[in-house]
């Protein structure tokens, strides 16, 4: 009887290993049947691959997304090099660096100092100023030039299983906490134009990708609208989550107009989907970011987080 159970257990063990191997092969075959575009970016330092099942999916995307850009497209009236640069001839390591002493220094080891990640929301009164075209430091080695170089690691666009359409995941390696991932790049547009585009998208039952950044400066509210719907970068495909693994920080380089940089809030595993809070992490009743309008039919949130607020953030000024 003992030998029977030992033999039976041995048999079950090998059958289990067979099925595990079989299912593993099945998943591998299933994945291999997908089509892959190795790089959809236009000159990013790291490739942005896209994986899809059907040509129809790709054609639908191409009918909407016209052009990939590495950084935000600023209005032609935007001023360049609006603030003085540093006169460092090294790598801006000295405390005497003009940019560092004037605006502060946020980066360590080519990433964000994690002390700034303690907050669960965007920091509306903090803006990262990077060295710019007026600086004498080397663009290639200066540690205060990070987001301006574009995507910092390989990423992949894929069809998310959550029902949110396209998504983005880390690809080939883990992402460490504080690491810069990408900018949320698109067209910088005025609020009137953002409102017009939002209404048009709603009438056509199309998705709205416009991100509104609001900064409170004394008694004024500075608003920046970024629309990556037709012209944008990989950030356009990153989905919302009420418990995201990325966090937005405002960055300024050569213009008064800020851009939105996405940093890892925590360590992110290989092939883990990336997400950020479309409201910047603010409470819905806080007017710093996107707000509730009860007269508007809001889109349901599908993030699946235990902290899910049930609906996607919405800016009532649109």
> What contacts 177, CB < 8 A, 6 or more positions away?
114, 117, 264, 265, 266, 267
| 39 part of a folded domain | yes
Return the minimum-mean-pLDDT range out of 92-96, 246-250, 267-271: 92-96
Among 296, 199, 229, which residue's Cα sits nearest to residue 61?
Answer: 229
pLDDT band of 148, cuts 50, 70, 90 = very high
The parent domain of residue 180 ranges over: 35-276
Distances (CA, A) of 129 to 109, 147, 206, 215, 302: 17, 10, 35, 15, 35
Q: State residue 226's pLDDT score.
A: 96
Q: How far apart are the first and last CA of the chain?
A: 76
Band the pLDDT of 30: cuts 50, 70, 90: very low
Domain contains 302: no
User: Quick check: is 106 in a domain?
Assistant: yes
The count of structural domains within the chain is 1
Prediction pTM value: 0.83
In a domain, 160, yes or no: yes
In a domain, 184, yes or no: yes
Q: Which residue has the tokens 């990989």?
A: 234
- CATH code assigned at 235: 2.170.270.10
Span 198-210, average pLDDT: 90
Residue 73 per-residue DSSP state: B
Residues paired with 260 in a beta bridge: 250
Residue 278 CA from chain centroid, whole number: 10
Q: Give me the residue label for tokens 């990556």.
A: 228
Q: What is the mean pLDDT of residues 27-38?
A: 64
User: pLDDT per residue over 12-25, tens digit each?
Assistant: 444 344 333 433 33
pLDDT at residue 15, rounded to an integer:
39
Contact 171, 154 (CB under 8 A): yes
- Residue 173 contacts residue 277 (beta carbons within 8 Å): no
CA 11 to chain centre: 49
Residue 27 placed within a domain = no
Query: What's the token pair of residue 60?
Result: 């639908």
pLDDT class of 264 with cuts at 50, 70, 90: very high
Question: Is 46 within 8 Å of 149 (Cβ atoms)?
Answer: no
Whether residue 307 is contained in a domain is answered as: no
In a domain, 142, yes or no: yes
Report phi then psi at 31, rounded to 5: -65, -40
- Do residues 169 and 274 lie in contact, with contact meaning Cβ atoms separated by under 8 Å? yes
């Amino acid at each position: 009887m003992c030998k029977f159970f030992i033999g039976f257990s041995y048999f079950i063990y090998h059958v289990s290993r067979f099925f595990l191997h079989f299912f593993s092969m099945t998943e591998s075959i299933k994945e291999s049947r997908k089509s892959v575009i190795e790089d959809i970016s236009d000159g990013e330092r790291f490739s942005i691959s896209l994986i899809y099942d059907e040509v129809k999916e790709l054609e639908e995307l191409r009918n909407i997304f016209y052009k990939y850009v590495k950084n935000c497209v600023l209005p032609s009236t935007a001023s360049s090099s609006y603030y003085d640069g540093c006169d460092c001839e090294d790598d801006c390591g000295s405390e005497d660096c003009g940019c560092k002493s004037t605006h502060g220094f946020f980066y360590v080891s080519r990433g964000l100092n994690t002390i700034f990640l303690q907050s669960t929301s965007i920091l509306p009164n903090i803006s990262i100023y990077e060295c710019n075209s007026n600086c004498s430091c080397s663009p290639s080695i200066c540690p205060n030039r990070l987001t301006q170089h574009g995507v910092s690691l390989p990423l992949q666009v894929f069809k998310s299983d959550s029902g949110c359409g396209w998504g983005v995941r880390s690809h080939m390696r883990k992402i460490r906490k504080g690491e810069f991932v990408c900018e949320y790049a698109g067209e910088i547009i005025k609020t009137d134009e953002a409102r017009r585009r939002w209404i048009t998208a709603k009438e056509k039952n199309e998705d709205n990708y416009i991100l509104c950044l609001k900064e409170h400066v004394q008694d004024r509210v500075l608003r920046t609208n970024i629309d990556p719907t037709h012209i944008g970068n990989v950030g356009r495909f990153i989905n919302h989550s009420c418990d995201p693994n990325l966090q937005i920080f405002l960055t300024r380089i050569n213009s008064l107009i800020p851009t939105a940089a996405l940093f890892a809030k925590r360590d992110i595993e290989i092939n883990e989907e990336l997400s950020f809070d479309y409201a910047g992490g603010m409470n819905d009743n806080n007017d710093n970011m996107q707000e509730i309008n009860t007269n508007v039919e809001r889109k349901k949130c599908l993030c699946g987080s235990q902290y899910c607020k049930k609906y996607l953030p919405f800016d009532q000024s649109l």
